Amino acid sequence: MRTPSQNLIRKITPARIGLGFAWIGVLIYASSSAIATLLVDIGAANPVAAGRNAITFTNLLFLGSLISLVPMVVLFRSDWTRTNLRRLSRQDWALLTLSAFLSSALTPGLSFFALEHSSVTNVVLVSRIEPPLFLLAAGLLLKERIDRRALAAGLVALIGALLMILLRETGNLCVLGVGEVAAAAATLSYIASAIVARRALRAIPMGIFSIYRTTVGTVIYFVLIAALKGPQEFQDILSPVLLKWVWVYAIIVFVFGQLAWFFALKYARSGDMALASSFSPVAGIIFAMLLLGEDPGAGLLPGGALILLAICIGQMKTPALPTLTRIWRRRPTFTTSDIAQVLVPVAALPGGSFKGYNGSY
């Protein structure tokens, strides 16, 4: 006979472990935009030579990626064997390189561009197009079964996010600008990177995937920024104020966040990942309020209520419509005689008498 602890261990399936890592990753990434913006503000208050801000989004991403390679090499060096490398086909290397470009260069670059031209709250809310689109993409490209309940939950959360962003400016309609467009593009790039990552992780060891993707993605990002903006963008990369604060972003987002998301991509179901991601706007707005003092606007309560409703829909064990139908059929019913037994004595109160009424007709 198994003990309660043994039964508990048997219930801890890889899918449940993946779900836990998905929630951890979502919470960390929900805070990443607010943390990055806060660090940029700290850099602006502590300028270096010629009044430059050393803590830019570009420097945070580049240096944070380099720092995150250290724990990855320590944790996953055993995966880098000749046997594992020889097993990889040209298609595997192509998927690795594409994933590196999308996840470590294009997506964060677009996200930081969006943060430079919009508020954290708007960027977080626009990214809510991700859960339903990710489910559809996983079903079409990876042939995964589309979880209708998770899809419905993602759509409800998206409606809540749209309501919040449209009522962002003191109850008036908010006009979408270049920052919001960049945030939408970053979300589409992220969906593509997640699909590629799920495809690659089926045959590629985690250590090879994570180290190669981060290394190559960082190199691609450096080359793109140097070509588009010039190498002077990295001239303050070794400034003391940047080296002092970059550890906060690197450890929280790049180390803990990426590791949690790697395990979620490997073990979690697409529906569970979409459900966890549905909570991201609420968490992101809370972090923006706490760390940056941003005002979410008049849409916080109605939009937040819809997002919480989406989470409840995703967590339901049975479909909502049959459940509501059963509840309606079990509702208490009243006959005409039952209603009369209540109304007759009430009608007699003003000046009448209860005489002759024995509780029934």
pLDDT in tens, 252-283: 887 788 788 778 877 887 777 767 776 777 78
pLDDT of residue 332: 63
Domain coordinates in residue numbering, the chain: 13-329, 333-361
- The predicted model gives 21-48 an average pLDDT of 88
pLDDT of residue 321: 53
Q: Report long-range pairs for 24-29 (Cβ below 8 Å, ≥24 apart).
A: 24/256, 24/260, 25/257, 25/260, 25/261, 25/264, 25/276, 26/276, 26/277, 26/279, 26/280, 26/283, 27/283, 28/252, 28/253, 28/256, 28/257, 28/260, 29/253, 29/257, 29/261, 29/280
pLDDT at 42 over 60: yes
CB 200 within 8 A of CB 209: yes
pLDDT at 133 over 80: no
pLDDT in tens, 90-118: 888 988 899 889 888 888 888 888 888 88
CB 100 within 8 A of CB 216: yes
- The predicted model gives 14-18 an average pLDDT of 79
Residue with tokens 């409800």: 156
pTM of the model: 0.69
pLDDT in tens, 319-361: 555 655 665 566 666 555 555 554 455 445 455 554 554 544 4
Cβ contacts of residue 212 below 8 Å, gap of 6+? 96, 100
The backbone region for 171, taken as left when phi is positive above 0, alpha when psi lies in -120 to 50, beta otherwise, is left
pLDDT in tens, 149-199: 777 777 887 788 777 777 765 444 455 678 888 888 888 888 888 888 877
pLDDT in tens, 215-256: 999 999 999 989 988 888 888 998 999 988 988 888 888 778
